[in-house]
Amino acid sequence: MEVSTFELLFKAQAPANPDGLPAVDTVLQGYFLAITNLEDEELRFRLEFVAPETADPDRGLAGNTIVFVDVPDVDNQQGVLTNQSSPDPKVFRPSTGFIDIPACATALVAVLPSAFGPVPGDPTPLMSPDFEVRGFVRLSLPALLEFNPPNPLAFVPQSETPVKVLLTPQNRATFISAAGGISDQTQTALPNAGGAAMAEIEPDPGGPVLIFPPFFGAVGDAVPDVLPLIEPLGPEQRSAALQMLLSAIDPAKTDLATFNKELREGGVPLAIEKREVAKAREKAKERA
């Protein structure tokens, strides 16, 4: 579903002044979205920012943004907006991945122009205040990957009915004077696309995973709009396809032991385990 429009800015508040007039402030404007899960179970959401393709590096999202995702128990996950995990060049997603929101909890997503100098995960900061980009924001409830023998590997909807959410989009801007100080700050609520803060999201449909051999040669369209890559994949596309596939796995509903056995018997020299298991193993090694 569409949430709202967005506008990111890092530029002078007005065109350049003629000689003799005082310099105008520079505005740094970001987009903030609060997402409240109104259901009684944790849900995993996909957030997308859609903006037109452009050859102007100061008018596009590529390499120009940083993202912070704040959810209960995980403060300020930092990343960037990237389209490497999307087959559509107009669609950008947080590099932090899906947004997991516990039952009746709220997540806050902040997207800002990368105007803060070099920061982790942001190799190309904006060097001059001449950036502006506009588009719209989309939120969906993706089907998750499950493997429970004797059933095949498949995408399974997270819900059989639409799920309820509260959505609060905002623009927040800081005005920076010519002397480098903060002269003002503003916060503006944006209209919701549906006309109300409460919305219902239709879950993405499920379906079998169709991987046509060789896996690294071509990937089939598993579920509409999930993995529509049917051309031979380059190295970056392979990585994106793997990230998309693996990030969709729901470990709570997947028999990882049997899944790893299938990988091993299929000649794949990899195994998947829960992150907390891997951390516990590393700590055990450190103590030893």
Which tokens is 86 given? 């999307």
pLDDT digits (tens, 9 = 90+) for 73-88: 888 899 999 987 677 8
Q: What is the pLDDT of residue 88?
A: 85
Give the rounded percent of residues in the chain with a pLDDT score beyond 90: 42
pLDDT average, residue stretch 28-52? 96
pLDDT digits (tens, 9 = 90+) for 261-282: 766 765 666 777 776 666 777 7
pLDDT at 158: 92
pLDDT one-digit tens code per residue, 169-182: 999 999 988 888 88
Query: Residue 223's pLDDT band (boundaries 50, 70, 90)?
Result: very low
The one-letter amino acid code at 127 reads M
For residues 45 and 164, the answer to whether their CB atoms sit within 8 Å is no
| 14 has pLDDT over 90 | no
**Among 43-52, 195-204, 238-247, 266-275, where is mean pLDDT lowest?**
238-247
pLDDT for the residue numbered 7: 96
pTM over 0.75: no
Do residues 66 and 80 lie in contact, with contact meaning Cβ atoms separated by under 8 Å? yes
142 with 202: CB under 8 angstroms?
no
Cβ neighbours for 114, distance < 8 A, ≥ 6 positions apart: 63, 64, 65, 66, 80, 122, 124, 125, 126
Burial of 115: CB neighbours in 10 Å, binned 0-12, 13-18, 19+: buried
Burial of 259-282, coded b for 16+ CB within 10 Å and e otherwise, reads bbeeeeeeeeeeeeeeeeeeeeee
**H helices within the chain, ranges in order?**
235-247, 256-265, 275-287
